[in-house]
Structure 1
Amino acid sequence: MLLHAKELLGFSIAALDGEIGSVKDIYFDDHSWVVRYLVIETGNWLFKRKVLISPAAISAIKDTSSSVLSIKLTKQQIKNSPPIDMDKPVSRQQESSLFDHYSWPSIGGAGMGWPTTGMVKGASALVSSAEPKQEFDPHLRSFHQIAKYEVHNQQGRVGLVKNIGIDISNWSVSYLLIDDVFTSAKESVVITPNNILSIDWPTSKLKIANSQEDLKKAPIMNAEGFFSNDSEGKI
């Protein structure tokens, strides 16, 4: 089941004993292309505090028409969760404390996360082997951060990132939607993560392998989320 990030924003989150708030952002791993957290703004019951919820806490999703996600947590568990300063990068220590508090499963290694067997994309943003070890995870990125990033190929600028498609059966990022020079304002070109060569976060630029000719032949999605050419199923 696919949902776009912009659809998820605003979804209500229902704990075992009542609604806790709504989705304000999505944190994903730009190396494995898997959603790691939903950023939830709690209601007045917790002074609109922002908390991180792993997809591991979300119950099986059978229907998204209600715009509600149910989680296997109580309000008390969320209230007692370690505080996170959302104005700063999430540190590895903070992630570790979250996983300890909720007893979420961990994959360890490059960062905390939930099991990704069969979920990790074959290619990803290039990672330097000399990348320094940092207190925070350099691959944990915000959807709000990547939205409207410039997209470039070998020939130059081709458009902007508009949205990302998320397979909520395993919370992997299936594709990015870009507004490019070959489509109308109401259409987006579909780019899969394995076509992304690099992401330069300081300059807000994303480089893709697709040539101009590739982009003209790429799947196109309209504003209603349907393919406007004959490319459905070719992603």
Structure 2
Amino acid sequence: MSTPVLELSGISKTFGAVKALTEVDFQVDPGEVVALLGDNGAGKSTLVKVIAGAHPADSGGTIYWDGEPVTIGAPADAQRLGIATIYQDLALCDNLDIVGNLFLGNERLHFPGTLDEVEMERRAVELLDSLSVSIPSLRVPVAALSGGQRQIIAIARSLLGQPRVVMLDEPTAALGVAQTAQVLDLIERLRDQGLGVVLISHNMADVRAVADRAVVLRLGRNAGDFPIASTSYEEIVAAITGASDNPVTRRSTRTGSSATATKDKE
């Protein structure tokens, strides 16, 4: 059994009187897509920010990297380990072109004060080719790109630091069908390259399409860890809601009963 690249054990986080996380366990293996699921307020965003170093965890829990205990007290700590986080706002500059966004804050220089545009464009082409991403021109402003293309550029930018774990916060939210497929294809390619991917999503179709496991949080606590291939949609929804009788299971029962009745008539 391989050692998880990232493992959290007994992680808690308190904001004043609010207990956002209570002794949460979580792990990601190399070459694995783990979906982090839960209703609004379940603690997903807090857990992601703990991993990203934006909200240091309370004392008592332990974070392991390649099996060794580490401390993530700031975003720089997470970046040094090899953790990249792409939030929903993507943090792209609409007035800059693709190359400018990819290397923003990490520009290549000929010598102090002069950008090496040729080298940055060469590296950008190399990076996007490695991800099998096709964009007609790297010099168009990011504002002119589709939602899916913008998401892909944000993910590609995070890969320049050669991370080993990539966390994606609702990457397909508000995307069309074709754009969603592009992003899901890219997630699969990240997995194929041996990266650990954490996918935060409310879209169960996306989760079932690309995730290997689903970790469910409810009210800041672990509510289940499910292998996607052998777990039904209804089981995961029951873990998210905390009730086996919910609109999804009731609808499934009605649909099943209707299908059975139709078959009996035939």
TM-score above 0.5: no
More strand by proportion, 1 or 2? 1
Indicate the structure whose relative CO is greater, using CA pairs within 8 Å and at least 6 residues apart. 2
Structure with larger Rg: 2
How high is the TM-score relative to the length of structure 1? 0.30
How high is the TM-score relative to the length of structure 2? 0.28
